[in-house]
Structure 1
Amino acid sequence: MLRDVPLPLSPAQIRSVVESQDAPIALWSGAVSSGKTIASLLAFLLRLSVTPDQGLVVIVGRTLQTIERNLLDPLSSVHLFGPLAKHVQHTTGSTTATILGRTVHLVGASDARAEGRIRGSTIALAYVDEATLVPHAFWMMLLSRLRVGDQSRLMATTNPDGPFHWLKKDFVNRGREVGLHHWHFTLDDNPSLDPGMVERLKRQYTGLWYRRFILGDWVLASGAVYDMFDEHRHVVDILPYMRRWTCVGIDYGTVNPFSAVLIGQGEDDHLYAVSEYRHDSVLARRQLTDAQYSLNVRSWLANVRRPGEQGSDRGVRPEWIFVDPSAASFMNQLWTERVPGISPAVNDVLDGIRSVGVALGSGLLRIHRSCEGLLGELPGYAWDERAAERGEDKPLKIEDHSADALRYALHSTVHEWRHLIDYEEATSAAA
């Protein structure tokens, strides 16, 4: 089976594939794009070919969509798995796949309720994608379902998290006691990566994310969330002509501040936080209704000065307006008033923070000095160290309203701007 894979495999990948076959629990961790997923999937296929019929085979991920994107798409790729790919059949949206002739159950495990999906099952082989994102209770239930004697196997991959995460503390650190074999991968363990791609990956991440996703360290989230923020580098007084008015991100508040941040793409292909609307009911001594907020946001957008254009015309129409997904009543207000482009923001907090960090760290994002609320929050936006000691990565929920609006805007459009990153500029800035 190893000979069927067209991609070159490193000694570390081959060793992990072979050694994992006898491991009750096998874990691949380390840097992004380090080859751990390819190695683990190949190990899974090898084990699947000899797995007894009396138990289920399951693949677990955060959602069905992530399972399809992260695992089934690669497994179905002839470029990656050669002739093995034709033995993978799956219909998008289905909760089962057929792999090497075996029915494989696809289980999304985004919260603690997911354990009910495997309760009572007898599982012979399980594969878990991004194990640190799986609820602890689900992981423990999964272990209890591996009941085909000494033939049951659990295989998992992950990017590192904090040193107090349950997976690190209770399993990686106690590997010999719990039957876990662990392989740590770096970018050098993936021989198929182009050197230029390696450099680009290294420039995408800074601070905490660099240590976890590039060095593969299990490190504590502490200090400033956006430790790469530099007023001299990121704050501008003059804006260029905007080639595109990309979006607005809105963090809704009644007692807490309401914040909206407008993002544009300049003619220089940088992203700009051009303008901000903010209402703090405590300072104003007045709470606003959804209808009043809608009127104020529309009035604000209608009066934004368009930089680089001749004359005194004002007003912009962003392509999207991404709203805090918990603010259902406000979105309904906007929809009722036929405001175009309204959508719930993508609210994956850690992934969103990482997207903002990439935009800041690469130098792609710049912020106009008029965005006083945002500029006041970014330097003090910090990790909750008490939560980190409990194994959780959470920012402190203090003075974060404009920061959240920025996160909603950038993370909801990350697919629109990642290609704009100038890696040469990022490299020189990092140096």
Structure 2
Amino acid sequence: MYKALAGKQLRSTQLATARGNLWEGAVRSSKTISSIMVWLRYVRTGPAGPLLMVGKTERTLKRNIIDPMIEMLGPKRCVYKAGAGELVLLGRTIYTAGANDERAAEKIKGLTLAGAYLDEVTTFPETFFSMLGTRLSIDGAQWFGTTNPEGPNHWLKKKFLDRARLHVRRDGTIAESQAADAIDLHRFSFSLDDNPYLPAAYVANLKIEYQGLFYKRYVLGEWCLAEGVVYDMWDDARHVVDIIPAIDRWMCVGIDYGTINPLSALLVGVGTDRRLYVASEYRHDSRTARRQLTDAAYSEAFRDWLGSYEHGGGRGVTPQWVFVDPSAASFMTQLWADGVPGVAKAQNDVRDGIRSVGVALGSNALSVHRSCKGLLSEIGSYAWDPKAAEKGEDKPLKVDDHSVDALRYALHSTSHEWRPLLRPKLEVAA
């Protein structure tokens, strides 16, 4: 059930009158519902002509925007034609598209548009966004978009948001720009606290989970640099344990593959206390061992490691999944040939993976056994790349990152399993 808009939510719908209108800021802060209400109004009353809806991918667009509209309006007034690239909304046909790479601009070449809705704008290539502006050529055309903050050097922030003619700030005050280079853009900035309908426990838990960079961006709604250590919530005293409790399920192994560089494998289980444990690590560094291993030798060592792990009076474990660095095709083939079950490519979105690890650490849902020397030597000093931040990119330094990459593969590839398991009260509608 959707509730009436209030406060900044309502104000933003009243002020979304510019050629461009963008809701930006914290997660779950009501950006999406506010922007959807304006878009529905525009579909009914805006100028005649083709309309477009865009997400990072069509799948994310459907999940984030189209599915909530179907829930609000019913399947007869909001009909998504999967595979056809079309949505029939309130009787009006709308093109749908994904914009996740530089080729996306080709999808809208030649279009003449009366309006557009854009989800997760910071994930679009700048070339696509610039092309879209040239396509909105029908008299009175407007676009409406949402995004979470990124670094202050991101192209959307520097070239567009900083030049907005009207800005509703996070504190609720309104700034109107008289600068000569101001553009016809209204910007609405949200923090997590701008959504009055979120349960207090949910908000409190998010503020605990998101720390450091992600707290600033996804709770406070700030555009801030990725700088310093990546996992600034890491605390040896809190996260390192000497004893692993009884394990309900050996969920996965994450593997970062290397020949000259180290190969690192981390075994992750879910304890009877409903928490995650990195229980053991296999690591081979050919530089210190002065011996490179073949894929067959790695596979044998990997299987010996799992087979010899002692726990709860038993010996040997069979994890449900073995998530491998996606670039290590030959090693995956070797594991399959040797009958290792559950081998799959790891999810390799670096920033989202870092966020998954950060959530597990920030909510105190993850502990690491003291025997995992490689991971413990890397995680406290794993740092953001300052040169990438200057370009508006969030990238960690590629230095001493083999075990932390293995951890990212393990936790991000299974995040859909352990998030509801460990924090079921966080799974609420917003």
Q: Does TM, normalized by the shorter one, top 0.5?
A: yes
* d(CA) in 2 for partners of 1:237, 1:39: 49
Check conservation: 2:192, 2:218, Cα contact below 8 A: no
C-alpha distance after superposition, 1:11-67 (max 9, x if no partner): 3112211221x211100011111111000011111111123333x311111112111
* d(CA) in 1 for partners of 2:6, 2:190: 11
Q: In the alignment, is residue 31 of structure 1 matched against residue 32 of structure 2?
A: no
User: Offset at 1:91?
Assistant: 4.1
* d(CA) in 1 for partners of 2:269, 2:164: 49
Amino acid at match of 1:103: T
- Structure 2 matches for 1:123-162, cutoff 5 A? 123-149=113-139, 151-162=140-151
**Other-structure match for 2:53:** 59
User: Offset at 1:361?
Assistant: 0.9
Check conservation: 1:362, 1:421, Cα contact below 8 A: no
**Other-structure match for 1:428:** none
**Other-structure match for 2:101:** 111
After superposing the two structures, state which structure 1 stretch, 276-285 or 222-231, moved more.
Answer: 276-285
**Other-structure match for 2:168:** none
Distance 1:11 1:381, change over 3 A: same
User: Offset at 1:86?
Assistant: 4.1
- Structure 2 matches for 1:93-108, cutoff 5 A? 93-108=83-98
* d(CA) in 2 for partners of 1:334, 1:105: 44
**Other-structure match for 2:357:** 356
C-alpha distance after superposition, 1:364-423 (max 9, x if no partner): 100001110000000110001111111001000111010000000001111111134469
Q: In the alignment, is residue 324 of structure 1 matched against residue 325 of structure 2?
A: yes
**Other-structure match for 2:45:** 50
**Other-structure match for 1:207:** 212
Check conservation: 1:203, 1:362, Cα contact below 8 A: yes
User: Offset at 1:94?
Assistant: 4.4
Check conservation: 2:321, 2:341, Cα contact below 8 A: yes
User: What is the root-mean-square deviation of aligned Cα atoms in Å?
Assistant: 1.7
**Other-structure match for 2:278:** 273
* d(CA) in 2 for partners of 1:91, 1:276: 47
- Structure 2 matches for 1:24-423, cutoff 5 A? 24-54=19-49, 56-77=50-71, 81=72, 83=73, 86-149=76-139, 151-176=140-165, 177-306=182-311, 309-310=312-313, 313-421=314-422
* d(CA) in 1 for partners of 2:417, 2:84: 28
Q: Secondary structure at the match of 2:34?
A: helix
Check conservation: 1:9, 1:191, Cα contact below 8 A: no
| TM-score normalised by structure 1 residue count | 0.91
Distance 1:93 1:409, change over 3 A: farther
Check conservation: 1:200, 1:423, Cα contact below 8 A: no
* d(CA) in 2 for partners of 1:134, 1:145: 16
Amino acid at match of 1:391: G
Check conservation: 2:87, 2:93, Cα contact below 8 A: yes
* d(CA) in 1 for partners of 2:367, 2:95: 45
Structure 2 unaligned blocks of 5 or more? 166-181, 426-430
Check conservation: 1:208, 1:219, Cα contact below 8 A: yes
Check conservation: 1:90, 1:96, Cα contact below 8 A: yes
Amino acid at match of 2:151: G
Percent identity (aligned)? 53
Check conservation: 1:10, 1:189, Cα contact below 8 A: no
Distance 1:8 1:53, change over 3 A: closer
Distance 1:217 1:85, change over 3 A: farther
Q: In the alignment, is residue 12 of structure 1 matched against residue 8 of structure 2?
A: yes
Q: Secondary structure at the match of 2:47?
A: coil
Amino acid at match of 1:15: R
Amino acid at match of 2:382: Y
* d(CA) in 1 for partners of 2:297, 2:135: 54
Query: Is the helix fraction higher in 1 or 2?
Result: 1
Q: Secondary structure at the match of 1:117?
A: helix
Check conservation: 1:356, 1:410, Cα contact below 8 A: yes
**Other-structure match for 2:428:** none
* d(CA) in 1 for partners of 2:111, 2:329: 38
Check conservation: 1:64, 1:93, Cα contact below 8 A: no
| TM-score normalised by structure 2 residue count | 0.91
Check conservation: 2:254, 2:322, Cα contact below 8 A: yes
After superposing the two structures, state which structure 1 stretch, 287-296 or 220-229, moved more.
Answer: 287-296
Q: Secondary structure at the match of 2:51?
A: strand
Structure 1 unaligned blocks of 5 or more? 425-431
Distance 1:406 1:16, change over 3 A: same
Amino acid at match of 1:267: T
Distance 1:212 1:288, change over 3 A: same
Distance 1:359 1:52, change over 3 A: same
After superposing the two structures, state which structure 1 stretch, 27-36 or 138-147, moved more.
Answer: 138-147
Q: Secondary structure at the match of 2:375?
A: helix
